[in-house]
Structure 1
Amino acid sequence: MESLYDPKGNQNILDRIDQLNPMTLSQWGVMTVSQMMQHCQEPIKMAFGILHVKPHWKSYFFASSYRKKLNSAKLFHKDQSTIQEFIIKYEPKFDVAKDGLKALVATFAKDGHAAIKATRHPLLGEMTYAEWDILQWKHLDYHLKQFGV
């Protein structure tokens, strides 16, 4: 699996984002391409300490099993549920959503571990820098595949 901290892996994700256009259609799910790009910003903002989400009650019981799945080679599967705070109910401007996502993704390669300010994920519990990287890469990969790139 690639790493967002690695300049090459980071650029691969940025190149895939660049393939999106306002008319790109989802292969599954209900989000538009602009909603997806805005949605993908939210967990990165959380990792960077910009967005704060209260821990979910499930994290106290299932965090270690969730992290074990995260650290496996398996990628995310279709129609996974999301944290309520990450659901985008409005239609963002395409260019604003795209530029915002690209800027956040680029920060991983530019700032490395220093970009991560949060230590706790609301469902996965305490996270390492490597786990934040795995989570963000898998999440971005999942949604970019959802839109065919």
Structure 2
Amino acid sequence: MNNIFEGLYTDQILKRIGNLSVNSQAKWGKMDVSQMLAHCSSFQDIAMGYSLPQRGWLGLLVGRFAKPIFYNDKPLAHNMSTISTILITDKRDFDIEREKLKQKIITFQKNGPENCTRHPHPFFGKLIPEQWGKGIYKHLDHHLKQFGV
């Protein structure tokens, strides 16, 4: 599985983000491209420890059993539910959101696994840095495929 902590995969993701445009259309889901970028940026905040959402009851019940979904080789399902705190529904500026996400990805990769959050994922629970690195890549890849890049 690709890992965002590896420079090659970070570069590939950044290039794909650069291929998005304000007119990019989703193949599934409700978010427009600017909202998707903001959503991914908010998810980066969780992995970086800047945002510490509480675990929900469903995650406490089944999160540890479902955890491999986050970092295994299987693609994420379309239209999966998301963490409520990073569900973006308001209008966003494409250029600002794209640049913000790119900078967070670069920072996350440069900071390395040792600076990854130790706070549990709000659904899956405790993750080791390698799982975060794979999960971040997989999440970004999922949303970039959603917009055809």
TM-score (norm 2): 0.94
Tell me the equivalent position of 2:87: 87
Instruction: Give the 3 Å change call, closer, same or farther, for CA 71–39 of structure 1 in structure 2.
Output: closer
CA displacement, residues 23-47 of structure 1 (integer Å, 9 cap, x when unaligned): 1111111111000000001111011
Runs of 4 or more consecutive aligned structure 1 residues displaced over 3 Å after TM superposition: none
Tell me the equivalent position of 1:115: 115
> Does the 8 A contact of 2:37 with 2:101 survive in 1?
yes
Tell me if 1:72 matches 2:72.
yes
Q: How many residues align?
A: 149
Pairing 1:1-149 to 2, within 5 Å after superposition: 1-149=1-149
Q: 1:69: how far off? A: 2.8
Q: What amino acid maps onto 1:135 in structure 2?
A: G
SS at structure 1 position matched to 2:112: helix
SS at structure 2 position matched to 1:125: coil
Of stretches 48-57 and 108-117 in structure 1, the one that deviates more from structure 2 is 108-117
Instruction: Give the 3 Å change call, closer, same or farther, for CA 72–114 of structure 1 in structure 2.
Output: closer
Structure 1: how far apart are the matches of 2:99 and 2:69?
Answer: 31
Structure 2: how far apart are the matches of 1:134 and 1:3?
Answer: 4
Structure 2: how far apart are the matches of 1:105 and 1:142?
Answer: 15
Q: 1:71: how far off? A: 3.8
Alpha-carbon RMSD: 1.2
Q: 1:135: how far off? A: 1.4
